[in-house]
Structure 1
Amino acid sequence: MIHLRTLLTACVLGAGATVMAITASANTLNNMPASFAPVLHAPLNVLYQQQPTYLSVGNTIDWRDAQGKSVAQLKQPAEFLDWRYPVSVESNGKKQDVLVAATVFLPEQQPGLVVLDPVTGELRELLRVPTPQFKIENICLSRAVGQHLSLYLLDERGTAEHWLVVDAAGNANARLLRRVPVAPNSKACAVDDEQDLLFIAEEGVGIWALGASEESQPDRKIVDMQKPFGKLSGGVEALAVLPQGLVAVIAEEKQLAVYSTTKAAFVQKQLIELPETDEPEVLKAVYRTDKKSVSIIVGDEKTGNHHVDLPWQATVSPSLVYPVVSVMPDAQTEPMLRFGDAADDPAIWINKKHPHKSRVIGTNKQQGLFVYDLQGKEVQHFNTGKLNNVDVRYGVAVGNQRVDIAVATNRDDNSLAIYTIDPRSGKLTFSGSVKTDLEEIYGFCLYQSPTQKTYAIPNGKSGEFQQIELTAVAAGKNKIEWNGNVVRRFYVKSQPEGCVADDKNQRLFIGEEDVALWTLGAEPTAGNSPELVLAAGDILVPDVEGVGVYHGKQHAYVVVSSQGNNTFVVMDALPPFKVRGRVRIDMDADKNIDGVSETDGLEVSSANFGKSFSEGLLVVQDGHKVMPEAPQNFKYVDWKKIREALQLD
């Protein structure tokens, strides 16, 4: 048995850590021993006999000691290489922390994974990904969100395939997540897991940064461009990530360009000359905490491999007060009919006699209202306009009768669209509209007072909220005439949207998208000055979007969508509104349900819906559906998972 000692490095820090990087002059470029033949070598953060080790690919795949001698070998030709350590992988019924490396097996040009066991020294094949229909230009691994591992395959025609390769349970699992538009003629890629950044080198142009998570939108930012538009003196052939930094090799100029990438601000800090190389095209790096430096290997076909030590001080900030915990969704609705910004806000109607037959009601702001069962199957839809936000209340007086209603804001005519709900079947029927004088109606919630009066509380993009008392009279067989009377107006200074009423405590929670979550009394006489609950910042990252209230047996909680970092903040629903934690909804590969990103609206209920959701249900809009890529939809999460993850009462 081979016993190894491993180094904890900044490049494998968990989510939420912050790393500060300070560059200094690099040591002189050193030629590596002749035993390091001109094949691709990557320095590792795994030691053998107290010395650094390397992984190489060429005619074979080798784990090598400090002198280049092969310690373990797979007789398999391969090209390209990226790795992560440690990765928890399921093996023989138990999990092991191993080094996982991605490569491309030859001659098939088939991407795959190999595993290096840091205890036994065993090197073995783990997984093969289906061979793509294009020539692979380069590969890179990503562990940007959650614990699953994914793999990018670059196609020079301007796309990248993004594959799941190891799921959160540690199972080898090849599944296409999405296809990402990238720059054409992309030569290289590298992922900064800590900052969720995918770096792409575009031939003849420069370096781009994209979101690395499968939930990221396909937008991109410039890191650097070739002169005269940037500082790059030539084309970039390879990239390597440092702790809050990036290194690029410029082949024709024989240079390394070193960048600081702190807070996604990309600044070229240093140029390192590579005079002993001919045309460097290979670049691999690892941060070593013991030496406070980055060990870099630069290689080319003619002169072989060369080693650079780059001083690089990395410090880790204390753990965040509210770390992000992950839960998996239990179900999802059928996607909307078309791509684009469509699904927005859900509501939950509880079937009080048969809770398992309850309904989720969601808006499509391009089309109308959609109704789903608790398995996510669509059971109804209404083409009634550009509906934005929706809410539900029970037992609304209509003459001598009482009806359940769903009300949504209609952006076509700045009105409130009202639907009645059959208490037995859950079937919705469009019942009528109430006009408002808001110029651009937007967000919305309902409030039912202890006197059983029902109020609609829409808001507009201007920051105005209106509290409208809804009344209704029977107007013939199965017809209702709805009326609205404005009883209060209040304001925030910029665009709001999210709104929820805590009927039990007569309190409103309202979201001002770029600013904060606010609260004020829900009764019309409660006053018009909102009080701060939680300002937008590091915990609640703008946009502040959907908001809901969960009434547990002992405590009530507010759940609010922190759209800027794809999380949900959970806090007490009563002053002082203590923050209880933050939740991310990650993919469940076994159920083929992707994670959640860019959430607009949400709703939460503590009702017992039966076996799947016995402690309640959180429903959230998913702004970017993948696995497979499809139009937006809604995701369901069992509240029990959230309670356990955040250790709530």
Structure 2
Amino acid sequence: MSNHTIKSAVGAALLTVLTTPAFAASSAIQHTPGATARAQELAALPDGGWLTLDKHGLHLLDAAGKERAALPMRAKQLDIRSHADGALAMVLDANTNRAQIIIADTKAGQLRPQAQLPAPSHGIESACLFRDAQQLDHLFLIAKDGQAEQWVLHGEQRQLVRKLALPPHVKHCRVDDASQTLLVSESGVGLWAYDADAEGVGSREPVALRAPYGKLEDGAGALAVLPGGGVALLDAKGKTLHLLRQRDGVWQAVGRQSAGGAKQLAVHLGAGAATGADAASAAGGRTGTAAAAAAAAAGTGSVATPARAQPLTQLLLPDEGAKSWQIRPLAWQAPKATATQAAPLPIIEPRAQTEPMARPGDAADDPAIWLHPTDRSASRVLGTNKKQGLLVYDLQGKQLQLLEVGRLNNVDLRQNVQIDQQRYDLAVATQRDDNTLVLFNIDANGDVNEAARFPTGLDKIYGICSYQPAAGGLEVFINDKDGTFLQYRIGRQDGRFASTLLRKFKVASQPEGCVADDRNARLYLGEEKRGVWVTSADAAKPDALAMALPVGPHLTADVEGMALYHGAKADYLVVSSQGSNSYVVLDARPPYKVRGGFRIGFNLAAGIDGTSETDGLDVTSANLGGAYAKGMLVVQDGYKRLPDGAQNFKYVAWEDVARALKLD
């Protein structure tokens, strides 16, 4: 779900009743099988059967309403997702105050409780399931005072992903998996939409509010997700049923009808429906994002997800008079996928991560990879801490050094640099306290120490990258937030390192990331809001800036870190597309063909979260052994999850990137 500016006019129009045939005629209302009559909550299963929850427990019914299995308990908050055996169900056990995960096996006619979550530290008022783009199942737990947690379910493991602050008195929640939107009903206020994706700071927007902010009567009650970004919502007293849909980032009312005092609500997709597993099968047995896209394109991610045909959407509401549940058909269809819609990006699991920063908040920024001259497995990763200094890690992510040299922003390095008949491994970084260029020496063991500082005259020093000309020596590009670039040559004078300014140029707006191609004397630089430029790295042969990749379909602002992968058959430029929490790979030569993009997701087996809002990154094609035999990509992670914590860096095997994007 994208962040959108909520204009003042939206609130007034939020629940305007439109003349639309969204609800079928009342004469078409039918009822569920009689065995569901006592159900307080229910859910339709893909085989035509039902899961019902009443004061005696959870019941598995067949299509005719005959009970196949029962699980005695006092529970509420029934929610389900598709499962290979039928359905994955969740209920809140009222006696233990714990969420209970249950497999509803429609083949064997069984209800199988799964491993419990740890006892919560606060009373749980509401809970709901979420299946993400990686096809991992999550659980949201919401307390009466608004404290909330997101857990990921992995086999028998239950891992805390993050904590959230949600409104108080939330009694109902549901997640639209396709749009990754968490919808919560705040009693007495209204319905809110949050970003369900754990990576990132999240967002919130109003969907429907009570007067005087909207047209809901007394606030929001139970809700159900409809295919294609829609919501069916009861008001707080269950008098009116509202239909809402998100169009162009704005929630709009599309119909309403009397609900007769209903307290619960469910959705059922009728003829033509298939389970999420069926949808994945129909898509060719794909997994991960491909399967998610197939399910998302077909529906909402709930159990009854259409795969081959648009089903009839039906709403289920309790009917006290008939002592059953009403089935109300809706003239509602999900928008059809278009040829212009981009395919989902593949998700790659990180292989390792560094220890977290010693300082909380926005601290980690930019990494650089140093290769051990004789033992590649002893190579190092340098990383900046914008609140503290420079850190050095091994390939397992263990912190080996901390140089408290002030607020470093970006770092880069070159090895085997010849200056005055001597060879050095040198790292360079921008220091934002005094706007200096800091030079570090790296010895043969990978130990780092500060070697020199050079004033730059810049007001807001920012990004940096190094360049090793064919003739030898070291040159450095630094930039300022105003768009200014300075190119320096690093040399020796009177037994000390010295710097000489070679040239100055400027881009129109704020830059940061840059990388130099030593082999071809080219400089790639990112202008955060506009794209990736390329120009000559040779100060003696400057040329005009040329756009290699503009912000657009492949690249979303801000344009951040970038690095070059020098392969045996091709060279690639890797760029952080920060605004889409993804990474773009393109050829590092004209016409700069885009080879694809990817995201970095959870590696639950290793206890590593995904990445988001990446600032800096670095990549090497060197054989580092093991998973990194074809090289390694290191990226900064803007939000450390699993659970929440200080920022760090993630290690990704280049082989995984190459496989996902079919690279040479």
Q: Normalization by structure 2: what TM-score?
A: 0.86
Secondary structure at the residue paired with 1:299?
strand
Contact map agreement 1:399 1:474 (CA 8 A) in 2: no
Rate the CA distance shift 1:24–1:347 in 2: closer, same or farther, 3 A.
farther
Equivalents in 1 of 2:555, 2:45: separation in Å?
Answer: 35
Which residue number corresponds to residue 12 of structure 1?
Answer: none
Equivalents in 2 of 1:36, 1:383: separation in Å?
Answer: 66
Q: In the alignment, does 2:277 pair up with 1:295? A: no
Equivalents in 2 of 1:97, 1:523: separation in Å?
Answer: 63
Contact map agreement 1:110 1:128 (CA 8 A) in 2: yes
Q: In the alignment, does 2:232 pair up with 1:247? A: yes
Contact map agreement 1:490 1:529 (CA 8 A) in 2: no
Q: In the alignment, does 2:258 pair up with 1:281? A: no
Which residue number corresponds to residue 40 of structure 1?
Answer: 40
Which residue number corresponds to residue 299 of structure 2?
Answer: none
Q: How does 1:253-332 map to 2 (within 5 A)?
A: 254-274=239-259, 277-278=260-261, 280-288=262-270, 289=306, 292-299=311-318, 305-314=325-334, 315-318=336-339, 323-332=344-353
Contact map agreement 1:23 1:312 (CA 8 A) in 2: no
Which residue number corresponds to residue 230 of structure 1?
Answer: 214
Q: What per-residue deviation string (whole Å, max 9, x for no partner) do you get for residues 425-465 of structure 1?
A: 11111111111122211111111111114221111111222
Paired residue type of 2:37: A
Equivalents in 1 of 2:314, 2:49: separation in Å?
Answer: 11
Q: What per-residue deviation string (whole Å, max 9, x for no partner) do you get for residues 71-120 of structure 1?
A: 444344432111112x4xxxxxxxx4642111123532321222234544
Contact map agreement 1:23 1:311 (CA 8 A) in 2: no
Equivalents in 1 of 2:144, 2:105: separation in Å?
Answer: 34
Paired residue type of 1:542: A
Which residue number corresponds to residue 439 of structure 2?
Answer: 418
Q: In the alignment, does 2:99 pair up with 1:79? A: no
Q: In the alignment, does 2:59 pair up with 1:62? A: yes
Paired residue type of 1:516: G
Contact map agreement 1:491 1:528 (CA 8 A) in 2: no
Paired residue type of 2:161: L
Secondary structure at the residue paired with 1:529?
coil
Paired residue type of 1:281: K
Secondary structure at the residue paired with 2:439?
strand
Equivalents in 2 of 1:181, 1:352: separation in Å?
Answer: 49
Q: What per-residue deviation string (whole Å, max 9, x for no partner) do you get for residues 260-307 of structure 1?
A: 124532222222222xx23x2212224445564422122388976333
231-240 vs 341-350, which moves further: 231-240
**Structure with a larger share of its residues in strand:** 1
Contact map agreement 1:544 1:560 (CA 8 A) in 2: yes
Secondary structure at the residue paired with 2:36?
coil
Rate the CA distance shift 1:45–1:543 in 2: closer, same or farther, 3 A.
farther
Which residue number corresponds to residue 474 of structure 2?
Answer: 454
Which residue number corresponds to residue 500 of structure 2?
Answer: 484
Q: 1:625 aligns with which of 636, 640, 656?
A: 640
Equivalents in 2 of 1:281, 1:232: separation in Å?
Answer: 15
Contact map agreement 1:117 1:123 (CA 8 A) in 2: yes
Q: What per-residue deviation string (whole Å, max 9, x for no partner) do you get for residues 302-336 of structure 1?
A: 97633322211221234856541122111111111
Q: In the alignment, does 2:120 pair up with 1:132? A: yes
Equivalents in 2 of 1:566, 1:98: separation in Å?
Answer: 33
Q: 2:447 aligns with which of 427, 430, 435?
A: 427
Structure 1 consecutive aligned stretches of length 4 or more whose deviation exceeds 6 Å: 300-303
Contact map agreement 2:349 2:652 (CA 8 A) in 1: yes
Paired residue type of 1:130: P
Which residue number corresponds to residue 409 of structure 2?
Answer: 388
Contact map agreement 2:58 2:70 (CA 8 A) in 1: yes
Q: 2:550 aligns with which of 532, 535, 546?
A: 535
Q: Normalization by structure 1: what TM-score?
A: 0.88
Equivalents in 2 of 1:23, 1:211: separation in Å?
Answer: 29
Q: What per-residue deviation string (whole Å, max 9, x for no partner) do you get for residues 119-165 of structure 1?
A: 44543223322231322211111112312111001111111111111
Which residue number corresponds to residue 88 of structure 2?
Answer: 100
Contact map agreement 2:43 2:80 (CA 8 A) in 1: no
Which residue number corresponds to residue 286 of structure 2?
Answer: none
TM-superposed CA distance for 1:385, in Å, is 1.5
Q: 2:170 aligns with which of 182, 186, 203?
A: 186
Secondary structure at the residue paired with 1:564?
helix
TM-superposed CA distance for 1:347, in Å, is 0.5
Rate the CA distance shift 1:282–1:361 in 2: closer, same or farther, 3 A.
same
Equivalents in 2 of 1:510, 1:119: separation in Å?
Answer: 57
Contact map agreement 2:313 2:333 (CA 8 A) in 1: no
Rate the CA distance shift 1:583–1:38 in 2: closer, same or farther, 3 A.
same
104-113 vs 400-409, which moves further: 104-113
Rate the CA distance shift 1:322–1:454 in 2: closer, same or farther, 3 A.
farther
523-532 vs 413-422, which moves further: 523-532
Contact map agreement 2:209 2:220 (CA 8 A) in 1: no
Which residue number corresponds to residue 375 of structure 2?
Answer: 354
Contact map agreement 1:421 1:429 (CA 8 A) in 2: yes
Equivalents in 1 of 2:504, 2:263: separation in Å?
Answer: 65
Equivalents in 1 of 2:317, 2:209: separation in Å?
Answer: 22
Q: How does 1:477-626 map to 2 (within 5 A)?
A: 480-485=496-501, 487-626=502-641
Equivalents in 2 of 1:359, 1:610: separation in Å?
Answer: 13
Which residue number corresponds to residue 16 of structure 2?
Answer: none
Q: Structure 1: which 5+ residue stretches go unaligned?
A: 1-21, 88-95
TM-superposed CA distance for 1:483, in Å, is 1.7
Contact map agreement 1:389 1:409 (CA 8 A) in 2: yes
Q: 1:109 aligns with which of 72, 75, 97?
A: 97
392-401 vs 558-567, which moves further: 392-401
Rate the CA distance shift 1:489–1:97 in 2: closer, same or farther, 3 A.
farther
Equivalents in 1 of 2:536, 2:21: separation in Å?
Answer: 57
Contact map agreement 1:205 1:225 (CA 8 A) in 2: yes
314-323 vs 97-106, which moves further: 314-323
Q: 2:655 aligns with which of 622, 628, 640?
A: 640
Rate the CA distance shift 1:383–1:23 in 2: closer, same or farther, 3 A.
farther
459-468 vs 218-227, which moves further: 218-227
Equivalents in 1 of 2:36, 2:434: separation in Å?
Answer: 71
605-614 vs 96-105, which moves further: 96-105
Contact map agreement 2:152 2:161 (CA 8 A) in 1: yes
